[in-house]
Amino acid sequence: MKLAVTAPDRLVVRTVRVADPGDLISRLPHPSALAWVRHGEGLVGWGEAARLHVPGGAGRFAAADRWLRELFGSARIDDPVGVPGSGPVAFGGFGFDPKSPDSVLIVPRRILGRRDGQAWLTTVGEPDEPLSIVRDPRAPERLSWSDGALTAPGWQNAVGAAVERIRGGRLGKVVLARDLYAHAAEPIDARVLLRRLADRYPGCYTFAHAGLVGATPELLIRRTGGRIGSLVLAGTTARGTDDADDRDRAARLFASAKDRQEHAYAAEMVRDALAPLCAELEVPAEPELLRLANLMHLASPVRGRLLEERSVLDVVAALHPTPAVGGTPTDVAMDLIRELEGMDRGRYAGPVGWIDARGDGEWGIALRCAELDGTRARLFAGCGIVADSDPAAELVEAQTKFRAMRHALEG
């Protein structure tokens, strides 16, 4: 596997404690933002000290991990803070499809972090090196919209075809996604979308990486030393119009055989993938409800202790793709996705997050997101399809899932 690398021979890294910086997103000086923020804590980065383009293939996570070990292992690091996310950090995003060439890791030149009452600034390279020109954020203007690969009726037909395959016994579940385009008068600033998403969905992981911006509710994996955690989400309904309607929708979701089956597929796969890596593993027998601003999900928090030293990317490799974004059996579902979606997802529904020199990190699944390219934004939404799925209802669910990024763009 040949990696495309842009990096100096040796990184020089210095981390210092700083006073509370306040809102992390407001500190980003340029639209080319890197971010991973939840409830005001996390990391933001800017500038670029090193970049890795990872070609598609079964060994892409291992190749990225080896490169980072070499890069960080040879670095001169001064890090008196010594917490997850301090010292050098790589922000990353991997293509959903193992064949995708869209996987990228970026080590920024400045990283500002806050966690558990501590704040720090990491500088990679010489402090007096020039950075990008500071530019004030500007909201998108004069937006227009157009279909992506499939029209709404075309996507419904794809869902119907998937249901027929599932009822025919070829597979148990497949996740089908569709895309939608927004066009603005001027280049779209990722910081505006980050600000709106973080304000509206503080409990989600608001992220930006190489033009991909979103707020995902789904934590694929967190590694802190030998401990790991994951949050499995599958089974969705919109929030109610009032408290009574909200309670009724929550009860129906929790009792729904279709949604419970969809969730069970995802939770069982995560358990089976993590069990060989863990000395201890806790998977709840029953899901709980996760309430977001516009949606409710069935959720299962998973916790464990690793059997031996492994980086967070080792665990990502074992988990991706989960049935929550692909389906089951995985290979059959992936083939059906390639056949029916009519598009390349790119990094949508792939792992997105960060890793530090200790192998600690947090990675989510890139959901509720858009890929920015100048004046254009490509939005994505996906739904889990099982034997009982109704194509019209799935289309409504997909439209609901688009709302997070539509609100971020429209204000």
Domain contains 86: yes
Domain that holds residue 220: 4-130+141-410
Determine which helix (DSSP H) or strand (DSSP E) holds 398, and give its type and residue range: helix 391-410
173 is catalytic: yes
pLDDT of residue 129: 53
89-109 tens-digit pLDDT: 999 999 999 999 889 999 999
Domain contains 136: no
Q: What would the two tokens of residue 107 be?
A: 């080590």
Domain contains 317: yes
- Least Cα distance to 92 among 43, 30, 38 occurs for 43
Q: What would the two tokens of residue 91 be?
A: 């922000």
Residue 149: other Cβ atoms inside 10 A: 15
Which member of 99, 164, 218, 401 is catalytic? 218
pLDDT of residue 128: 59
Q: How far apart are the first and last CA of the chain?
A: 43
What total of structural domains would you count in the chain?
A: 1
Q: What would the two tokens of residue 49 be?
A: 């000290």
Which member of 48, 173, 262, 401 is catalytic? 173
Question: In the 3-class helix/strand/coil scheme, how is 139-192 assigned residue by residue?
Answer: CCCCCEEEECCCCHHHHHHHHHHHHHHHHCCCCCEEEEEEEEEEECCCCCCHHH
Domain contains 393: yes
CATH number of domain containing 121 = 3.60.120.10
pLDDT tens string for the chain (411 positions)?
667 778 778 999 999 999 999 999 999 998 889 999 999 999 999 999 999 999 998 899 999 999 999 999 999 999 999 999 999 999 999 999 999 988 999 999 999 999 999 999 999 987 655 555 577 899 999 999 999 999 999 999 999 999 999 999 989 999 999 999 999 999 999 999 999 999 999 999 999 999 999 999 989 999 999 999 999 988 889 899 899 999 999 999 999 998 898 888 889 989 999 999 999 999 999 999 999 888 899 999 999 999 988 999 999 999 999 888 999 999 999 999 999 999 999 999 999 999 999 999 999 999 999 999 999 999 999 999 999 999 999 999 999 999 999 999 999
The helix/strand count (H/E) of the chain reads as: 8, 24
What's the CA dihedral at 264, 400, 351, 60 to 10 degrees? 90
Domain contains 135: no
Domain contains 87: yes
